[in-house]
Structure 1
Amino acid sequence: MDLPDLLDDWSWNQQSISSLDNIVAFYLEEPSTPDWDSLKSYYPACAGGEDRRWICKGDEYDWTIFEVERGQWVFVKKEALSVPRFLVAEFI
């Protein structure tokens, strides 16, 4: 599996969730809950972890970890959307 550093140390079950967008989800098996402290240390520019959601945006990717059901965590990665800067500035 092609996972980011740190996340590749955990055990995941890979499943496609959208054939149209070619999006793949990774369901966390071990540990049973994401190690939020390690994520914050390894990826300090990313946000979340306290509210059952973790988001990391880069120039070429969007990563998200979220709880889909009680105790079931999913990691989704996809290519970043390219949004013109003038649109982003209007919402800030």
Structure 2
Amino acid sequence: MATILLSAAGAAVGGSVGGTVVGLSSVAVGRAFGATLGRVMDQRLLGQGAQAVETGKVDRFRLTQAGEGSPIPQLYGRMRIGGQV
């Protein structure tokens, strides 16, 4: 949350100063500086985060239980069949 607030505050300060810095507008520089400072504060307050968790992996995906060598039904028009696409 601090990232968003300080980014907006940096853009406002940069906009009030005006001009350019190294070819960039002072609004962009102020926004980048505020966002960087806000990110540092967020990470210090909230921590680095946790490891990504993977659940529900599918070992073998089968569509209407068609396997190697099994016939696959062919439909014309609109019909209801079992399975997921």
Structure having the larger proportion of residues in helix: 2
Structure having the larger proportion of residues in strand: 1
Report which of the two structures shows the higher radius of gyration computed on alpha carbons. 2
TM bracket (short chain): under 0.3
RCO comparison, higher one (Cα < 8 Å, 6+) = 2
Q: TM-score, normalised by structure 1?
A: 0.21
